[in-house]
Amino acid sequence: MHNSPRVILHPLLLAAYPVLFLYGQNLGEVALEGLVIPLTFAFAVLSVSYSLFFLHFREMERTSLMTSLFLVIFFFSGIFAELLSKYAPLLYLGETVIPHQFILVFFSAAFLTLSLSLLSGHKGDLKPITFYFNLLASTLALLNLLTVVPFLLSTSLNGSQSSPTGLHPEAECTGACPDIYYIILDAYPRDDVLRESFGFENGPFIDSLSSRGFYVASDSRSNYANSYQSLSSSLNMDYLDALVDSMKSASMNRYMVYEMIKENKVQGYLESKGYVIINFRSGWGPTDDMGDSDIQLSPFDFRENNEFFVVLLQNTVLAPAIEQVIWDSRRENILYAFDNLGGVADMPESTFTFAHILCPHPPFLFDEDGSLPSSDAGLSLDDLMAGQVSFVNRKVSDAVDEILSKSDEPPVIILQADHGTGLLGSNSVCMLKPSSIYSVNESELEDRMKILNAYLLPGGGSEGLYESISPVNSFRVVFNRYFHENLTLLEDRSFISCDSDTFNFREL
């Protein structure tokens, strides 16, 4: 009995768990095949650490226990660091502050060294410890499966919405079909929010848009408070009501919402009219791969699952070493979109261009001149926001001017935020009790909904537009004007919900 083989599963389960847990927190955003590279990385870390510890122990059970302890430290150091910075007081050596990251490294090294010493000196039977490690790892895996499996089974739910009443794909354009640019400036706030919350006067930029022929909706609000909800609504010209009843039983299941972004009705309608569909890959799940787009543009050869793998790495001990690489990659992606939008106008075909640009959404990666803000400059949040918005304004103006100068026919350009910049007074209550979102003062949520929303519609100016128009009506106006549609404009409404209870909306 003593020599019977022992089942040791915990290292394998603990290596896979961080990847599967992260997948479970982002259901629908990453295809199953997108797990291949992160899992390969996790098992590579497992193989290397196991081999090194085996050289020391020359025995499987001790090696496995030590490997599992190392994997926990390696993959969850980001969470430990966050908890340490949140709850641990600052420590001083004389007058010098000891960084929390240094403290974490010190205690992690001490813990692993002590564990190595204890396992090396332990003479008793390790079967009970192995049993409990297996039990813990199996329990974690099972809890994760309870989230993932129902999602995979529910992806066959029919959550799609019917086409808006009155839509006629066979309708012809009025004259030449105009190129259409739908440019999402993530978390770009309305000018009154910039002025009142950040002390930044954005009037000159708004005036410059007006001088170029844009209609700027001065009282516009987003329909939803999060990107995935807002974009799935605007790109399908409808509210998400059709999903609410069918998805309440899977409140964190965003699969259908993500699919509504990737396979949206605006794109499908324009494709039926012979438009070439172009997507500037954003680096964020759903808009990084827009379904049947004819052309997907990116500065990188490798894009699939980029953000998912990056988030995984950001929670590991490698985070400090790769942080600069991550931010450089994001900067390059944003610059690429701004610098190449104008090039689309050179194409002879009618084009629909979708560009979801993750700016001025934090982190703050640009100052007014486009350089990385100096961490030594002591800049306030207001300063950082002003610098990044100023940078975006300049790049937007340059891109618009290039589009206009290169276009043979006047194009349609929509500059729009998916949501505002407010930090959501609901965040804390969402963490504790999602239903408490209904008790949050509405004024705390307003900044999140107030957005930049500007339209350049040739041949009719502001016809059909009004100060409070919201994204859900944007393409209803465009299709009515240029494709002889007769779509009814919807009431402009705004909704908010917690990520943990996605379809339990509170209307503001």
Stretch among 79-83, 175-179, 218-222, 322-326 having the lowest mean pLDDT: 79-83
Question: Residue 121: is its pLDDT beyond 60?
Answer: yes
> Does one domain contain both 17 and 62?
yes
The answer to whether position 230 is within a domain reads: yes
The answer to whether position 407 is within a domain reads: yes
> Does one domain contain both 317 and 367?
yes
Over the stretch 134-154, which tens digit does the pLDDT of each residue have?
999 999 989 888 877 777 776
Euclidean distance between CA atoms 453 and 215, whole angstroms: 9
The answer to whether position 465 is within a domain reads: no
Other Cβ atoms within 10 Å of 473 Cβ, number: 23
Alpha carbon separation from 366 to 50, 392, 400, 449, 466 (Å, rounded): 42, 9, 20, 24, 33
Euclidean distance between CA atoms 53 and 67, whole angstroms: 7
> Does one domain contain both 276 and 353?
yes
Task: Please report, for the domain that includes residue 267, its CATH number.
Answer: 3.40.720
pLDDT bracket for residue 123 (50, 70, 90) = confident
The answer to whether position 343 is within a domain reads: yes
Q: 105, 120, 154: which is the final residue of a domain?
A: 154
> Does one domain contain both 145 and 190?
no
Stretch among 53-62, 366-375, 425-434, 478-487 having the lowest mean pLDDT: 425-434
The answer to whether position 367 is within a domain reads: yes
> Does one domain contain both 196 and 142?
no
The percentage of the chain sitting over the pLDDT mark of 70, rounded to a whole number, equals 82
More confident residue, 94 or 78: 78
Q: What pLDDT shows up at residue 505? A: 84
Q: What pLDDT shows up at residue 256? A: 77
> Does one domain contain both 431 and 330?
yes
> Does one domain contain both 499 and 429?
yes
Over the stretch 180-195, which tens digit does the pLDDT of each residue have?
999 999 999 999 999 9
> Does one domain contain both 32 and 86?
yes
Alpha carbon separation from 83 to 56, 87, 104 (Å, rounded): 32, 6, 10
Rounded mean pLDDT, 265-283: 93
In the structure encoding, which two tokens stand for residue 166, read together?
């009155």
> Does one domain contain both 146 and 202?
no
Question: Residue 110: is its pLDDT beyond 50?
Answer: yes
The answer to whether position 466 is within a domain reads: no
Question: Residue 88: is its pLDDT beyond 70?
Answer: no
Are 489 and 476 a contacting pair, CB within 8 Å? yes
Q: Which domain holds residue 119?
A: 10-154
Q: What pLDDT shows up at residue 231? A: 96
Rounded mean pLDDT, 53-57: 93
The answer to whether position 405 is within a domain reads: yes
Q: What pLDDT shows up at residue 329? A: 87
Over the stretch 153-176, which tens digit does the pLDDT of each residue have?
765 444 444 455 567 666 666 567
Q: What pLDDT shows up at residue 243? A: 62
**pTM greater than the 0.85 cutoff:** no
> Does one domain contain both 128 and 186?
no
> Does one domain contain both 86 and 228?
no
User: CA 340, 346, 348, 354: dihedral to nearest 10 degrees?
Assistant: 20
Give me the number of domains the chain comprises. Answer: 2
The answer to whether position 159 is within a domain reads: no
> Does one domain contain both 391 and 496?
yes
Q: What pLDDT shows up at residue 97? A: 58
Q: 154, 169, 192: which is the final residue of a domain?
A: 154
Handedness of CA 154, 158, 159, 160 (dihedral sign): positive
